[in-house]
Chain A
């Protein structure tokens, strides 16, 4: 049997090229989808981890400021702590070159005179210390920007424009292969001086003496430095970054697995079609003594071989998809989660193994049912035709019942137990995509049976869909799953966008916003001076101002944002920026009360807090409990926000700096002119002015960048589904060749047959789309009300983007029509002479 398999397989591949190509195609697209998403997720973490490794080296403990920065005297305290072997200070600044390329640098101010080893090539340390603006950049960045040692570059960072001299090259990738090419090194004193960070550090990396217990050391350091510092291991930093990305990558992985699921249908269809074509061969093999198991193994071996080819095609395809969309992914990741962007995509063994398992597993799973089906037949039935329809039709009610049972069980499980389990939303979502294919044959059968055939045309196209249920129901199911994903994600993204727009409209309600020029915590340019605030407040065209201060605090051990605002009473606009879900503003902004706070919805959900509850807030200065006065909608920060008055904020933080200022104008309609005037007037100050509308535009731009990746996945899923329709029509052409010949013999013209086949395609697409739209709507509800709430903690108002959905229907219809042209043309060209006795 094995020898027969080896000898016959090449012949089969040669004769059934289109079917096999489609199997390969299904596996390849599924693998490509999985691998591209896995690559994106793992490489985002790797990029962060690579930079952590490059900066922290083999440090045992890293100390960061609770407010994002540390005083440099903290370094002296760290040095004195028992158990410390080495301590390395880092002052960090993100800067961009001022040229057209806007090349981004992460400048590390380090102690170049310490007994550390950095892989620097270039001038000596005398130049490093004695040359103003001396900096070492990575060879990769130098090559990309055409820089050589001795060049002068201008960068903007920390709210300042600074001239730097390329003094050397520092190859971090020699020790940390995935370190960012944007890393650059300069002496700490020079970095502090040039970027306005005198007295500040952002990180201290500590190596411990042999024999020291890491937990003991960490706790000693924490106790020495107090709440203004946070002691953390480098591994923990990476795992925190991974946690940040968890929701993002889980969503995308789930979407990519759906692509595999859809690809599985394609494999099923093509395998089944192949088996139908070769049923005589299998009948003969059974007559010659081949066992059922041998038959199954032979089919699975063939599919595995095709699966391997599919994986071989899918892996580079997925790599290419990930590598070519790095910009889109980076926009999402760097906007929301991490500051380190993916620069190069690396394929690691676990990712490859996952993709191979998904591809081969999907291929085998897709072929298993047809293989078992063919093995169960008796020899006689294998040597005859037209038996499949009856069986599928018989199975349809049972499959429908199974689908119904899964639905009931899943809903029951969720209602009783599952709702407390965070990933339960994904279970619900998968239930949707599993149930749909199960109910499809029954729904299709029952629906098309009602169609009355009045002519040799469209109605016959629809009616005969039920006649070939074993083939058509699978195609409809595949398409409906694809459309489910498309519609579900479209509804979710659109709903989120509309909700966000409404939220931005209400929360961004000052007319002009002033931001400190630098976002690096602790720098002089990262705060707005009191003199400036006074100048603005006293202007005749200003009605009121709203000072914004931000910092990080800990609530039940989790890092959340603390925010202080004045919330001036400008016709209610000041406090209206917080759209309350429940509670009130009472005691929050009116000074002298008991420092009540507002909390964001994500914080309330993640910590199960509500109004009148007590929340323990630990800042870098002191910890204190507050009463929750209200819970408000918030979509800007998924980790949670506590809003309080400035007095309450000062209880938690030693810093008094204001990072933002909202300006309410007496004449809001003049906002553009006044903003332009302010920019001109305060051009020399390290602040930026942005009008209300510009802020809103930027927020939505970030949103659109974030969700751009989902479009790619939706497209891939749809491509697989449409390929499935083409395949189905081709199968029908081959399988029903005698039927077509009979039509021709009875007087059917090629045009009529062409239209019937085209009609089948359109019918398949319509059924798939209708079922998919229903499934997609359910999926959207799951994504919005279960997944988003569990992972991000916010409520999205559900909106139905009908125009978009109808547009997508048009695209699907057009695509399937085009996909149906070739099979229809082949069908139309079947000659009456191909009618044979057996098939009649």
Chain B
């Protein structure tokens, strides 16, 4: 008999659940767009992950890095047989953050609700809503991700921390599968995997609210879509992920999955050319070495901070450096859910700028990954 603290610690713990009742990722998954932009409730977990950079239209020297994410964590794969407005088969979690790159201020907001009609949920094609949730307690408004034929619209508001965004995001490059047919292996055997695709370049415009200020903004974005029913293998504790947009028009996605000893258990890289064609690289074809570290004052967690990335076939030997170290997301809703999600710059070995992007570092210092 195990003790469980009802709710997220276990909802979010994939390994605690038998996988056979959920649909499993497959290399011959039959994609259907645009429906696949919407939820897949027969898979256990799913997320819509947007990161990018925004410039103030009124003060072009002022730039922001942003994150907007919806997670769906399935509780049961079965449809809910109740007329109660509390009926739920999933939990909806939202994370959003804006970092003011001029002064390094990082503001994080989160929501967490059962996927019940009263509080949050996911939509289904062809309705416009992909996911929505009531704003965090103490705040009015909603979080919402919608799609129309041409663009995604992301809105959120949290009056408690003074954060809001209303962004319209149009794909600038076509959708890219992160692995053959979007089947993204998370270990060498392929027993842990997800279905994964990316819009590596988005054109973004809209409004953001930081503190008491509302800014009209425009900029760029990167959207990851991933769904699975258990994307980490039993021995893996977290991952390092990078989505880099190079100035020459290429994009690079890299992830490393770490085991409990902290060493790399599995890794993958995709180089996307200017036309949006991916090249999948095996672990031996690239290397990513940490070049520094940073310890968070609020959580005490030490993260690697600064990397040297070498991809021979892409003729890349670059440094990836944080634009600000203060980009750690610390959840108050879920104990131990702390991770670093932040803007990074890409420079050549002489320090000349070559691009920028986002890094995500999870599972450090005993923290749990978001899902």
Contacts and interface: CB of A to CB of B under 8 A. Distances in A.
Interface of A: 72-73, 75-76, 79-87, 89, 111-122, 124-126, 128-130, 149, 187-190, 192-193, 198-199, 209
A781 to B, nearest CB: 57
Contact of B1 (A83, A89, A121): A121
Interface stretch (B82-90, B284-292, B313-321, B352-360): B82-90
Interface in B95-130: 112-114, 116, 118-119
Contacts of B85: 72, 198-199
Given A76-B118, A111-B86, A192-B86, A125 B7 contact: yes
Contacts of A189: 80, 82, 84, 86-88, 116
Contacts of A130: 75-76, 78
B137 interface: yes
B333 A83 contact: no
B171 to A, nearest CB: 34
Given A113-B11, A124-B10, A85 B1 contact: no
5 contacts: A113-B91, A115-B112, A129-B89, A189-B88, A192-B86
Nearest to A71: B85
A113 B76 CA distance: 12
Contact of B7 (A114, A121, A188): A114
Q: Which of B75, B76, B83 has the largest number of chain A CB atoms within 10 A?
A: B75
Contacts of A122: 1, 4
B138 A82 contact: yes
B95 to A, nearest CB: 14
A188 B112 contact: no
A119 B6 CA distance: 8
Contact of A86 (B75, B86, B116, B137): B137
B6 A120 contact: yes
A113 B138 contact: no
Helix, strand, loop or mixed for chain B's interface?
loop
A111 B114 contact: yes
Contacts of A190: 82, 84
Q: 10 shortest A-B CB distances, which residue pairs? A: A189-B86, A113-B114, A189-B84, A130-B76, A192-B84, A189-B87, A84-B138, A193-B82, A80-B140, A84-B137
Contacts of A89: 86
Contact of A121 (B3, B11, B116): B3
Helix, strand, loop or mixed for chain A's interface?
mixed
A113 B4 contact: no
A673 to B, nearest CB: 40
Contacts of B5: 117-118, 120
A128 B334 CA distance: 19
A143 to B, nearest CB: 15
A75 B3 contact: no
A488 to B, nearest CB: 54
A404 to B, nearest CB: 69
A114 B113 CA distance: 6
Interface in B290-321: none
Contact of B137 (A72, A79, A119, A188): A79
Given A82-B138, A83-B138, A124-B10, A115 B2 contact: no
B72 interface: no
B137 A85 contact: yes
A133 B91 CA distance: 20
B138 A125 contact: no
A79 B11 contact: no
A115 B4 contact: no
Contact of A113 (B7, B80, B84): B7
Contacts of A112: 6-7
Nearest to B139: A80
A806 B8 CA distance: 70
Given A115-B333, A149-B1, A72 B118 contact: yes
A144 B118 CA distance: 38
Contact of A126 (B17, B82, B137): B17
Contacts of A149: 1
B345 to A, nearest CB: 35
Contacts of B333: 115
A722 B313 CA distance: 107
A84 B6 CA distance: 21
A198 B138 contact: no
Contacts of A79: 119, 134-135, 137-138
Contacts of A76: 118-119, 134
B259 interface: no
A191 to B, nearest CB: 8
A315 to B, nearest CB: 38
B348 interface: no
Nearest to A131: B76
B144 to A, nearest CB: 15
A125 B84 contact: no
Given A86-B137, A113-B8, 5 more contacts: A79-B138, A82-B138, A83-B138, A187-B86, A189-B82
Q: Which of A115, A116, A126, A209 has the largest number of chain B CB atoms within 10 A?
A: A115
Contact of A125 (B3, B4, B137): B4
B182 to A, nearest CB: 27
B13 to A, nearest CB: 9
B112 A81 contact: no
A129 B83 contact: no
B138 to A, nearest CB: 4
A301 B365 CA distance: 67
A839 B41 CA distance: 105
A129 B1 contact: no
A183 to B, nearest CB: 15
Nearest to A113: B114
A340 to B, nearest CB: 23
Given A81-B138, A115-B8, A128-B6, A73 B118 contact: yes
